[in-house]
Amino acid sequence: METILPFDDRDGSIWMDGRLVPWRDAKLHVLTHGLHYASAVFEGERVYAGTIFRSLDHTRRLFASANALGFEIPFTIEEIEQAKRDTVAAMGFNEGYVRPIAWRGSEMMGVSAQASKIHVAIAAWEWPAYFSPEAKLQGIRMKTGRWRRPAPDTAPVHAKATGLYMICTMNKHEVEAQGYHDALMLDYRGFAVEGTGANLFMVKEGKLYTPKPDCFLNGITRQTVMALADKRQIPIVEQHITPEELMKGEEVFVTGTAAEVTPVGSIDDHAFTVGRITQTLMEDYSTLVRNPAAQKAA
């Protein structure tokens, strides 16, 4: 059985409310509002060759997500940017993952929490890949999940808010127990929209199709990959995609900070090819994230 290194018992430092503290001392109270009512927002970011990819875009989205949940982060964007750099430097690695998070504290316990203090923490750790090299080579196996993305008038669907990921965990646990890598998420209308933590793309007849992000997060990696496809003069179509239309695709892949560009080998009983466009965009993305000069030109 694989040994799990718990996230509360590690060496290193975590930036918390303005200063670096020993990793094991970064704690919060059990009656924290963010724990009970999901009043928290976060980001997931990658470090490549010592640099956080599209760091400023992630920080700006963190602030926008907090605004969507009705609270204000008590630091400036540049202070958070510097804190992320300080955290990565303190951890001393060149390749890894960064997790900023902001949440309401424990001053009030109840649905209302206007007087609760807003806390911010930033952790970073080494994390080589979300899916195994074998899965990325052959394509991951997905199964349609039963929990759906909510409508825009029922949740802050464009925020990276912790509460929106509960259905992702439920879907992912359910399909993993059946031997799949991830779940395909449908939205409230029944359209295919994403994986549990990654955006969705389909290739058909030389065109790249991706769902309209009208009820889910328009990922930063998604935007990056669309820009790379545009440079390759690959036609891009944003439209609603039914599960039936998706199964007729020639290639399917998902994108995200953790997943990067990961091909899909099958969804339910439908198989896909890890084809030329998917492979090209995987290579282009890998080249881009490790080339600061190319990022500035992008």
Residues 16-71: tens digit of each pLDDT: 999 999 999 999 999 999 999 999 999 999 999 999 999 999 999 999 999 999 99
**Contact predicate 23/13, CB 8 Å:** yes
Residue 200's φ and ψ, nearest 5 degrees, are -115, 140
pTM for the model = 0.94
Residue 155, pLDDT > 70, answer yes
- Is 287 within a domain? yes
- 77-91 and 55-68 are packed helices; what angle lies between their axes, rounded to 10 degrees? 120
What average pLDDT does the chain have? 95
* Distance from C-alpha of 237 to C-alpha of 228, rounded to nearest angstrom: 14
Q: Which is it for the CA torsion 267, 268, 270, 274, positive or negative?
A: positive
**Contact predicate 232/251, CB 8 Å:** no
272 and 143 together in one domain: yes
Angle (nearest 5°) at CA 178 between 174 and 182: 60
What is the structure's pLDDT at 1?
47
30 and 118 together in one domain: yes
Domain boundary among 102, 125, 148: 125
Where residue 77 sits, what CATH number does that domain have?
3.30.470.10
Long-range contacts of 76-82 (CB under 8 A, 24+ apart): 80/120, 80/122, 81/55, 81/56
pLDDT band at 218 (very low <50, low <70, confident <90, very high): very high
Q: Tokens 């394509």 correspond to what residue?
A: 139
113 and 260 together in one domain: no
pLDDT, mean of residues 178-190 = 98
pLDDT, mean of residues 265-292 = 94
- Is 297 within a domain? no
102 and 151 together in one domain: no
* Distance from C-alpha of 128 to C-alpha of 96, rounded to nearest angstrom: 7
Q: Which domain does 120 fall in, by range?
A: 13-125
Where residue 245 sits, what CATH number does that domain have?
3.20.10.10
pLDDT, mean of residues 246-260 = 96
**Contact predicate 141/266, CB 8 Å:** yes
Range of 3-7, 135-139, 245-249 with top mean pLDDT: 245-249
Give the total number of structural domains in the chain: 2
Number of H helices, E strands in the chain: 9, 16
pLDDT band at 291 (very low <50, low <70, confident <90, very high): confident
What is the structure's pLDDT at 298?
53
38 and 151 together in one domain: no
Active-site annotation, residues = 160
* Distance from C-alpha of 171 to C-alpha of 183, rounded to nearest angstrom: 6
**Contact predicate 142/175, CB 8 Å:** yes
